[in-house]
Amino acid sequence: MFNPFQSPSQRNVIAIECGANALRMLQLGGNAMNPVVQGIAMLPSVGLNSQQAGSDETTIRRIKEALRSGGFSGRSCALSLPAKSILTESIEIPALANNEMKESVSWTAVDRLGVDRTEVVAGHLPIRAGTLGGAPSEVLVVATLRNTVNRTAALLTEAGLEPCKAELGALAAMRLAWNQIKTTTNIPNFAFLHLESDQATLALLNNSGLIFHRSFSWESSSNLNLGAIPVAGEEDESQAWRWRQMAEEILQCLRHIERRAVGSWPEFVTLSGALAEEPGVASAIRTVCGTETRLIDIENSVDWSKVKRPNGPLSAWTSLVAIALPQTTVAAVNKKRRVA
Amino acid sequence: MIDFFVDLLPDDAREIFRRRAQFRLVKLGSILALTVATGVVVNSFVELRQAKAQHEVIVALREKSNKIDKRVELSVQERTRLRSEIAVDAMLRSPISTSTIISAISHLLPDGSWLESMKVSLEEQKSLKTPVANRPIYVVLMNGIAPNAQAVQEFATEIRKTAPFVAVTVLEQRAAPKSGGGSEQQFVMRARIDPASRETEARKPDHSGNDVASAQTQIARGGSTR
Q: Report in angstroms the alpha-carbon separations of B193 from A45, A226, B173.
A: 133, 150, 22
| pLDDT band at residue A180 under the 50/70/90 scheme | confident
Name the residue among A143, A149, A168 with its Cβ closest to that of B13: A149
| Interchain CB distance below 8 Å, B8 and A174 | no
B146, HSE (Cβ side, Cα atoms, 13 Å): 25
Query: Would you kindly state where each structural domain of chain A is located, as residue ranges?
Result: 14-84+148-339
Cβ A167–B5 below 8 Å, yes or no? yes
pLDDT in tens, A191-235: 999 998 888 999 999 888 898 999 988 764 544 554 545 444 445
**Backbone dihedral angles phi then psi of residue A142, each to the nearest 5 degrees:** -120, 115
pLDDT at B212: 41
- Choice among A104-113, A236-245, B176-185 with the minimum mean pLDDT: A236-245
Between B4, B8, B10, which is nearest A81 by CB?
B8
Q: Is A17 near chain B, with CB under 8 Å?
A: no
CB contact set of A264 (below 8 Å; sequence gap of 6+): A189, A204, A206, A211, A257, A258
Is A81's CB within 8 Å of B10's CB?
A: no
Domain check: are B83 and B110 in the same one?
A: no
Please indicate, yes or no, if residue B59 is contained in any of the structural domains.
Answer: yes
Answer whether residue A1 shows pLDDT above 60.
Answer: no
Mean pLDDT of A71-99: 90
| pLDDT for the residue A128 | 86
Q: Does B9 touch chain A (CB under 8 A)?
A: yes
Q: Would you say A332 and A33 are in contact if contact means Cβ atoms under 8 Å apart?
A: yes
Q: For A14-84+148-339, give the CATH class.
A: alpha beta
d(CA A135, CA B195): 149
This complex has an ipTM of 0.82
- Establish if B226 belongs to a structural domain: no
Q: Does residue B139 lie within any of the structural domains? A: yes
Number of H helices and number of E strands within chain A?
Answer: 8, 13
A45-70: string of b/e by CB count within 10 Å (b at 16+)?
ebbbbeeebbebeebbebbeebbeeb
* B15 → chain A, closest CA residue: A164
Domain enclosing residue B211, as ranges: 98-221
Query: Do residues B125 and B43 share a domain?
Result: no
Asked if the Cβ–Cβ distance from A175 to B4 is below 8 Å, we say yes
Instruction: Say if residue B109 is in the same domain as residue B89.
Output: no
Q: Are residues B110 and B215 in the same domain?
A: yes
Q: Which pLDDT does position A336 carry in this prediction?
A: 47
Query: What is the average pLDDT across B140-163?
Result: 89
Region of residue A47 (left: phi > 0; alpha: psi -120 to 50; beta: else): beta
Return all residues near B52 (Cβ < 8 A) that are at least 6 apart.
none
B10 contact A CB<8A:
yes
Total domain count, chain B: 2
Say yes or no to pLDDT of B216 above 80. Answer: no
| pLDDT, mean of residues B124-140 | 66
- Nearest CA of chain A to the CA of B27: how many Å? 16
Which pLDDT belongs to residue A27? 94
Question: Does residue B115 share a domain with residue B206?
Answer: yes
Pairwise CA distance, residues A22 & A285, whole Å: 27
Residue B215 clears pLDDT 60, i.e. is over it: no
Query: Distance (Å, rounded) from C-alpha A89 to C-alpha B10?
Result: 20
Domain boundary among the residues B67, B93, B119 is at B93
Residues B136 and B24 in one domain: no
Q: Which residues of A touch B20 (CB under 8 A)?
A: 162
Contact B158, B108 (CB under 8 A): yes
